[in-house]
Chain A
Amino acid sequence: MRHAGKRLAGGLSELLPGLLPGLLLLLLALSCGAARADAQVVRMWTLLSGGDGARMRALIDSFNASQQEVRVESTTLKWGEPFYTKLITASVAGAGPDLATIHLSRLPNLAGGGVLRPISAAELAAGGLQGSDFLTRQWDRSQYGGRTYAIPLDLHPLVLYYNKDLAGQAGLLGADGRLAPIVGMDAMTNAFRAVKERTGKAGLTMESAQSTYAIWRLWLSLLAQQGLPVVADGRFAYGPAGERTLAAIARWFQAGYATPGQDYPASTSQFMAGNAGFMINGVWEVPELVRGTRAGTLRFRYGIAPLPQLYGNASAWADSHGFAIPASEGRPMSPEKATAVLRFVAYVNTHSFGWAEGGHIPAYRPVAESPAAMALMPNAEYGAAAASVVYDPPGWYMGAAGPLEAIASKFLPAPLAGQLTPADALRRFETEAQRLLRKRPPRY
């Protein structure tokens, strides 16, 4: 061993002259970096992964290349509960990032809990933005207690994807080659049955494994279609309709039109492989379909429609991504940094056409209302969904991957596989979630 060490040391001294030019180059590179050291560095945490993550990455790169004064460094963290737990603890400990992507549905939780820092109109203006730049619904969702706590980026509702080949064989297409309107629960069920019976393929595919949020989103949509709140006056207020609605969803699975227990990848690949007539999912799968069609790997023609009106109206669950500034108590953000942050946020929004190609509906009106965005396919097919979206209801325990969703995700999928009756599933859900409703909103 010692011998080997000696040989290595000897080798190193011989190597050094060879290394010197390299070292000099390195020093030179470092000093060049120092020339940009006065640039404001914005540290961002994002929960965007997959296609969304790649799109955000591209936006960050083009922003960094577009100017010298601000450099955004982003870190991607695991989506869901771990992301928010980390954001909350880091922000409270004063170690949060300068900027974070969040879901607007979490605003009552994050802003109400003191995790975020309000953004003033003057700061917005310094970045080149104002409230009226954004679609009303998303902008309203960015406010908490009369102040702005987030800047919306998009809207991503639940929509109905369909396989035109299978739907056509099942006689579900209109003369224009698009899905004939489906109205009412029975019509939807009949459509699934028609696909199953005429083509032998599944009528519907959607994420249905234990701990999925998908069933909660669909259930929430259908309750909203009946004008029923989930929670009112600190109590669960959906009543018997909640059970009926969950039972109706479960029946699709029990009747064999859809497979229960499928996790997310299994559910989407069933649709992508042409093995299901319909898929209920968020718009974020759009890029995968566009890509498949372009590459010729998708062996069928597809269409996308807003979630059908199965009850009284056409409500559909949606959420929005937005940018927020963590409070990072004891480490207040300098005005220069705040301006730098907002310059980046403004850049992303003005360039959010690329984001729309990810399936999302942009929140920034100049982009959302531009002819190019209006004509963008397949987005135009489901653009109407934006008019009737519902977010998670307000409440500190609500929102994406929030405490209540976490509990709902455990019980609501169980009736699909017949593991619990809908009544039993909801009873257990309420028993456990009750504690959240009674609790005072936490100040983190």
Chain B
Amino acid sequence: MKATRRSEALSAALLLLPFMAAFVLFFLLPAFQTLYLSLTESSLTRTSAFVGLANYDTLVHDPAFWSSLGNTFYFSVLTVIPLTALGLAMALLVDRFTGDRQRAGTWLQSVFFLPYVLPISVMTLIADWMLQPSSGIVNHLLGVQRAWFSDVHWAMPVVAIATVWWTVGFNMLIFLAGLRNIPREQYEAAALDGARGFAVFRHITWPALLPVTVTALVLQLIASLKVFGQTYIMTTGGPFNTTRVTLHYMYETAFTQSDAGYAAAVAMAFMFVVVALGLLQALLLRKRK
């Protein structure tokens, strides 16, 4: 008996080893290196001096960092709820197509999901064409001549809208999986009891979907906080940095200004914010459940 357990432990360890090795090599080690880097004065490739917490001291008093953090939150506010709600709505819609109409449902599902498979460069190009000041279809339809990406008030919302269109398909899939996990018997029982329409959704679908929703919200928040490519390509952080998000600022300090030490400090501070927010959100949502 004991021997079996030992061999079980051994094989478990053996099976875990590849993952642990990859985790240590590609996550833990770089994370500690970044932490160390953030305590030094470094250019792109060379460390010149250990400076303790000096980079963090600069960070606290750096308006550019705080404004970039503000922009990141603004983007998250504009995307997290719409992406989750729209994903749910789309899943509910697709899920209605059952039986004979299954094919139509599959077709609709593909249409909703398709934008998600586009590479970011293609997505931004499409958005850029559609939003061109003089030739874009959006201005044509609205009958205006707005340069959306250089408009202080519109630049970030427009990036957010493009992002929602691009990624909502993934959330739809998560919700769809959740929906299909709900046992059909529950619906049948409810129907026997005379429940219909919104009541079914409120008392059966929604409670069953809650854990999925929590997962979707947390994943979405983390994804939105990590925004970089969209604003980098579509607005280059402009006009005058109103859409420059934290990862973009980190990129600029590291690569344009060759200040890797400071960029590492930005990265560490940002990681702290993301982890804290993710935990907080998960805790709050769990409690409500």
Residues of A within 8 A of B (CB): 81, 85, 88-89, 92-93, 113, 209-211, 261, 397, 403, 406, 410-411, 414, 417, 419-420, 425, 428, 431-432, 435-436, 439-440, 442-444
Contacts and interface: CB of A to CB of B under 8 A. Distances in A.
B115 interface: no
Contacts of B256: 81, 85, 403, 406
Contacts of A411: 240
Interface residues of B: mostly helix, strand, loop or mixed?
loop
Contacts of B239: 210, 410, 414, 419
Interface string B217-242: 00000000000000000001111110
A420 B240 contact: yes
Contacts of B48: 440, 443
Interface stretch (B9-17, B22-30, B39-47): B39-47
A428 B237 CA distance: 15
A410 B241 contact: yes
Contact of B41 (A261, A419, A420, A440): A440
Nearest to B241: A410
Contacts of B133: 261
Which bracket fits the contact residues of B?
Answer: 20 to 34
Contacts of B62: 435
A181 B179 CA distance: 77
A409 B275 CA distance: 34
A88 B258 contact: yes
B189 to A, nearest CB: 48
8 contacts: A92-B45, A113-B43, A113-B258, A406-B252, A428-B241, A431-B63, A435-B58, A444-B46
Contact of B44 (A88, A261, A440): A88
What are the 10 closest A-B residue pairs judged by CB atoms, nearest first? Answer: A442-B43, A210-B238, A403-B257, A92-B45, A442-B258, A210-B239, A85-B255, A414-B240, A210-B150, A211-B236
A82 to B, nearest CB: 9
A432 B64 contact: yes
Contact of A261 (B45, B150, B236, B240): B150
Contacts, number: 74
A417 B255 CA distance: 29
A115 to B, nearest CB: 10
B129 to A, nearest CB: 14
Contacts of B152: 419
A403 to B, nearest CB: 4
Contact of A410 (B43, B46, B237): B237
A210 B244 CA distance: 13
Contacts of A436: 257
Nearest to A442: B43
A209 B258 contact: no
A210 B239 CA distance: 6
A431 B63 CA distance: 8
Contacts of A85: 255-256
Interface string B185-201: 00000000000000000
A329 to B, nearest CB: 10
A439 B255 contact: no
Given A410-B241, A420-B240, 13 more contacts: A81-B256, A89-B44, A92-B44, A209-B150, A210-B236, A261-B133, A419-B240, A428-B241, A432-B63, A435-B58, A435-B257, A443-B48, A444-B46
A263 to B, nearest CB: 10
Among B45, B48, B64, B256, find the residue whose CB has the most chain A CB atoms closer than 10 A: B256
B147 interface: yes
B126 to A, nearest CB: 18
A420 B239 CA distance: 10
B46 A443 contact: yes
B257 to A, nearest CB: 4
A136 B111 CA distance: 64
Contacts of B241: 410, 428, 432
Interface in B52-67: 58, 62-64
A261 B43 contact: no
B150 A410 contact: no
A417 B240 CA distance: 12
Given A403-B257, A431-B63, A210 B45 contact: no
